């Protein structure tokens, strides 16, 4: 996985959550997703940690406390090394 792929995945999740019309034409969203993806990939590369989990559910509730959380709904690992 590289930063470009991760940024695209972030944007896809935002489109699903906020609506494609609000996200698709926003250069600010592109810039934020790209910056975050670059920082995440740099951090993971520096720490040799390539385990990334995904979520398609967006904001969820912690089952034990009922508090909102951004934790993934599953521990699905994205296969492959960082590029």
Residue 34 in this model has a pLDDT that exceeds 70: yes
Domain presence at residue 78: no
Of 6-10, 16-20, 40-44, 55-59, the poorest mean pLDDT is in 55-59
What mean pLDDT comes out for the span 29-58?
73
Segment 54-75, tens digit of pLDDT: 555 555 556 676 666 555 555 5
Contact present, 10 and 33 (Cβ < 8 Å): yes
Note whether residue 65 is domain-resident.
no
37, with CB counted inside 10 A (0-12, 13-18, 19+), is buried
| Residue 34 within a domain | yes
**Is residue 29 domain-resident?**
yes
| 62 part of a folded domain | no
In a domain, 38, yes or no: yes
What domain count does the chain have? 1
Residue 59: inside a domain, yes or no? no
What pLDDT score was predicted for residue 83?
47
Segments forming the whole domain that contains residue 45: 3-51
pTM, full prediction:
0.51
pLDDT number for residue 66: 66
């Amino acid at each position: 996985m590289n930063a470009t792929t991760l940024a695209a995945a972030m944007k896809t999740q935002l489109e699903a959550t906020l609506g494609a019309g609000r996200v698709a034409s926003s250069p600010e969203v592109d810039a934020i997703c790209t910056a975050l993806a670059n920082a995440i990939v740099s951090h993971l590369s520096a720490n040799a940690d390539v385990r990334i989990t995904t979520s398609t559910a967006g904001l969820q509730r912690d089952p034990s406390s009922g508090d909102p959380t951004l934790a993934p709904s599953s521990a699905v690992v994205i296969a492959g090394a960082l590029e």
